[in-house]
Amino acid sequence: MVKNKQRKETMMEMKSKLSRRNFLLALGAGSAAAAVASKVGQPVKAPSVGKDKRRGKGYQETAHVRNYYRTAKV
């Protein structure tokens, strides 16, 4: 009788652990699915061409950049 009672308690503990594990797995999967779903529905915006005149010139060494380099030397 005692052995049977211990067995039932062990089975109940296993069920509670499994249900907790399943809950956490479902929570993680649901969060991931929600993140993907929020990104899938958004349209992709094409970069605007010609609106920014400075775009495409790249790096330019100006007076304030040279001053920074001069003062940052160790």
Task: Give the model confidence (pLDDT) of 20-34 as tens digits.
Answer: 888 889 889 989 888
Does the global pTM surpass 0.75? no
Give the pLDDT band (50/70/90) at residue 64: very high
The dihedral region occupied by 33, where left means phi > 0, alpha psi between -120 and 50, and beta the remainder, is: alpha
For residue 43, which phi and psi values (nearest 5 degrees)?
-70, 150
Residue 8 falls inside a structural domain:
yes
Residue 3 falls inside a structural domain:
yes
Q: Based on the structure, what is the number of domains in the chain?
A: 1
Residue 50 falls inside a structural domain:
no
Token pair 């160790």: residue:
74
Provide the residue range defining the domain that includes 36: 1-41
Residue 47 falls inside a structural domain:
no
For residue 18, which phi and psi values (nearest 5 degrees)?
-65, -40
Residue 25 falls inside a structural domain:
yes
Cα separation, 14 vs 20, in Å, equals 10
